[in-house]
A and B are shown apart, each in its own frame.
Chain A
Amino acid sequence: MNATLRRYASAAVLQVSGRLDQDTCEAFRVELMKRVEEAAREGGSVVLDLSELEYISSAGLRCFMLASREAKAQQARISVASLQPMVEEIFEISHFNLVFQVFPTVRDALAAISAEAAAAYARG
């Protein structure tokens, strides 16, 4: 599992790749919580770009849930985007699509945050 950070205006896009399961979830949890705290401090948002995420287990989903709770507590915003079909189905099966805002693309997720973030993403 790898997590790569990019910034677009006030939004942080964390691209997660590989498998997120029992073996990798703790390192990811630490990274994700750091990003949520930063986003909260800066009054911004976190978008999880899952286009490269191949698999997520219940342990991985729990990291997302912890991040969602932390984001709510700190009045930050978190969403997920660009899910591969299998991960998208796991989100639905586990009812995580009722907890997270799910966007078809990172562009859509950023557009829902701010015009500045979407424009920064368009500039590349």
Chain B
Amino acid sequence: MRLRFWGTRGSIPVALTAADMRDRLAQALVQASGRTFATYEEAHAFASSELDFSLTHTFGGHTPCVEIDIGSDEYFVCDMGSGARPFGVHVLARQGGRPATVNVFMSHVHWDHIMGFPFFGPAYVPGTRIRIHGCHDVLEHAFRLQQSPPCFPVEFDELGAAIEFVKLEPDKPHVVSGITVTPHLQLHSGDSYGYRFEHAGKVAIYSTDSEHKLEDRAEAEAFAKFFRDADAVVFDAMYALADAISVKADWGHSSNIVGVELCQMARAKHLVLFHHEPANDDATLEGLLKEARRFEELTRTDQRLRVSAAYDGMEIDL
């Protein structure tokens, strides 16, 4: 099983500014001072292996879209945030003209999680099958609404693909084209659902837009059970803990620290911080990642939890 991150930012897409780019270029030039590169490849190798992560990567700007690749002919993807546009480009390139079958799993229908669908190329290709799974009654309504005049020039009914909406029942395992998926209700305005994907002995959790009140033992234990022994947990870590439980309490999001605690309770192997706050720059996100790693070290018992921060383009093999 491979996780491919097409969109990792929360709430609204963001992009590096010209000032950010100039700053990075200047820092890279300083770090390369005295070096010479005869070819593009030499320079590329230097950038890949010797420059700091914060100079060579950005945590990305697209809103949530995470692909679960199980080596099947069909596609599996969580949410249709703005990352659905590059995901669509990937699908079209891989299909080489053959229509695709795409299984979508929706956490909820807030705008940042559906905004990429009108730009999802395969939706315009006749013969493509798109099955949009979710637990909300308003799923189809939301997808149609964002493509209704005057919001978008192409109406939902004009799309070339055959699009089907499939209602799932929370806490019940469903087998979808060979992958077992179990939704779980999460605390978020209008409700959201996390998904547990199981295939060939591997488990991936997609749990975004989810606030946790760990002082409630029953809630904590329910999530520990949902995350139990997962190989990777993609987790809403939008805020630092102090913000998540003060000024941003009841905003429906969580923190890096709570992610570590829940994954430790669940004996999960890899925590992936996700749904990054759009106001946070790369340095701040790196800081939150380092803090989560340190917290994991401080509180580790017998099992190490790997901690990463998701960025657009990241792939994780489970």
Contact = CB atoms under 8 A, between A and B. Distances in A.
**Is chain B found bound to chain A in the same assembly?**
yes
A58 B242 contact: no
Given A22-B214, A61-B241, A98-B242, A93 B220 contact: no
Interface string A38-54: 00000000000000000
A92 B288 CA distance: 11
Interface residues of B, number: 20
Interface stretch (B89-97, B290-298, B304-312): B290-298
A90 B215 contact: no
B212 to A, nearest CB: 8
Interface residues of A, number: 22
A53 to B, nearest CB: 14
A46 B261 CA distance: 29
A74 interface: no
Nearest to A62: B245
Contacts of A26: 215
B246 A94 contact: no
B245 A65 contact: yes
Contacts of B292: 93
B285 interface: no
B258 interface: yes
A22 B217 CA distance: 7
A87 to B, nearest CB: 10
Nearest to B294: A93
Given A58-B258, A58-B261, A90-B298, A95 B241 contact: yes
22 contacts: A22-B214, A22-B220, A57-B261, A58-B241, A58-B255, A59-B214, A61-B241, A62-B214, A62-B245, A65-B245, A92-B291, A93-B257, A93-B291, A93-B294, A93-B298, A94-B240, A94-B295, A95-B240, A95-B243, A96-B242, A99-B242, A99-B246
Interface of A: 22, 25-26, 55, 57-59, 61-62, 65, 68-69, 86, 89-90, 92-96, 98-99
